[in-house]
């Protein structure tokens, strides 16, 4: 490849970088920073990139206020139940309470079925259930 | 190396959040909310919708804190969720309105009221309106790279496209922005 072709290729690379990332080299990809040196053939592209950069810098993206940040923190904590760490109702009480309620219900069901079984057997033998006790 | 450090410090922060450390919660919100809010505002052109989307993304993050693995950058994860939620929101809006033209027109009218609140001068108003008039993917690429100052690889990952596709979106977006502002450019610069 001749020096002319190399220069043309270099200019083309520089123009495409300027078009995509602008004139600020700190935004360029790491591997492309070798193309940072200005060349006469890319002066127009550089000037255009600088113009657009200036426009973009004039219009920063909206930033939330301190109040919005505080509200967001509160809302996220409320939605995820992180407040439970301040008042440990959810994580530390609901699960054990749920398990306890389940155990009591299971106890009642098993107890009922056993009582029914005893009564059924007793009747089959001709006794009244209460007489056995 | 810096990337690894960031991933590790993100993992430490998430571990603290999983333990309910309120200082870590505040740190995360103060660090990441402004950036994802900026992205959502730019994508949706509506500040209250942007807040809802950010809250949804942050709640999802909180819910994954227990299982967070040190394999992803927090900022990439959050930006990606916000990007996807915003795309869904735009799609729903488009579906409700029936056509893309309505969506763009709508964005313009919504922007104006939104921009008044955050832009402090006329130039910023005009440029913000011009950015919001760009196609969705072009303005997202520009916001990620220029305003949220993310690297090209991270921005491409968030948008789920190749770096080449991102560069093409950036070039076309910048060119379109310049064309849109061409007439008034002399006054603005």
What confidence tens digit (pLDDT) does each residue in B123-181 have? 788 888 888 889 999 999 999 999 998 999 999 999 999 999 999 999 999 999 988 88
Is the Cβ–Cβ distance between B72 and B157 less than 8 Å? Answer: no
Cα separations (Å) of A43 from A46, A86, A129, B153? 5, 61, 106, 27
- Nearest C-alpha in B relative to A83: B20
pTM here is 0.72
Q: Do A72 and B171 touch (CB under 8 A)?
A: no
Contact with chain A for residue B6, Cβ under 8 A = no
Report the distance separating Cα B187 and Cα A2, nearest Å. Answer: 44
- Token pair of A23, please? 């004139």
- Nearest C-alpha in B relative to A78: B59
- Domain boundaries along the sequence of chain B: 2-188
Q: Do B25 and A79 touch (CB under 8 A)?
A: no
Q: Do B174 and A20 touch (CB under 8 A)?
A: yes
Which residues on B lie below 8 Å from A89 (Cβ)? none
Which residues on B lie below 8 Å from A80 (Cβ)? 59, 62-63
- Class of domain B2-188 as given by CATH: mainly alpha
Give the single-character DSSP code of B144.
I
**pLDDT tens-digit map of A53-99:** 988 888 888 899 999 999 999 999 998 876 544 444 455 567 788 88
- Token pair of B22, please? 């309120």
- Which residue in A21, A68, A82 is closest to B25 by CB distance? A82
What kind and span of H or E run contains B68?
A: none
Question: Closest by alpha carbon to B68, among B16, B23, B137, B126?
Answer: B16
């Amino acid at each position: 490849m001749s020096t002319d072709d190399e220069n043309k290729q270099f200019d083309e690379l520089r123009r495409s970088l300027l078009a995509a990332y602008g004139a600020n080299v700190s935004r360029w990809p790491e591997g492309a920073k070798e193309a940072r040196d200005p060349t006469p053939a890319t002066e127009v592209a550089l000037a255009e990139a600088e113009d657009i950069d200036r426009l973009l810098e004039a219009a920063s993206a909206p930033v939330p206020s301190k109040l919005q940040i505080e509200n967001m923190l509160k809302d996220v904590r409320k939605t995820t139940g992180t407040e439970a760490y301040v008042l440990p109702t959810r994580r530390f009480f609901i699960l054990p309470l749920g398990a306890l309620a389940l155990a009591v219900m299971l106890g009642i069901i098993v107890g009922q079925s056993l009582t029914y079984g005893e009564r059924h057997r007793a009747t089959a033998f001709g006794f009244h259930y209460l007489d056995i006790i | 190396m810096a990337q690894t450090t960031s991933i590790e410090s993100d993992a430490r922060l998430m571990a603290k959040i999983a333990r309910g450390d309120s200082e870590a919660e505040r740190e995360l919100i103060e660090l990441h909310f402004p950036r994802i809010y900026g992205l959502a505002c730019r994508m949706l052109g509506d500040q209250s919708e942007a807040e809802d989307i950010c809250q949804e993304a942050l709640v999802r993050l909180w819910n994954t804190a227990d299982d967070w693995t040190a394999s992803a950058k927090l900022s990439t994860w959050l930006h990606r969720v916000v990007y996807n939620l915003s795309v869904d929101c735009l799609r729903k809006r488009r579906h409700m309105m029936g056509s893309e033209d309505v969506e763009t027109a709508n964005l313009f009218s919504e922007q104006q009221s939104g921009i008044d609140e955050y832009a402090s001068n006329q130039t910023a108003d005009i440029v913000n309106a011009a950015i919001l008039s760009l196609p969705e993917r072009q303005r997202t690429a520009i916001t990620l790279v220029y305003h949220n100052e993310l690297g090209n690889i991270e921005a491409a990952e968030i948008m789920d496209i190749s770096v080449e596709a991102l560069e093409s979106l950036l070039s076309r977006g910048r060119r379109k922005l310049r064309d849109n502002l061409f007439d008034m450019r002399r006054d603005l610069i």
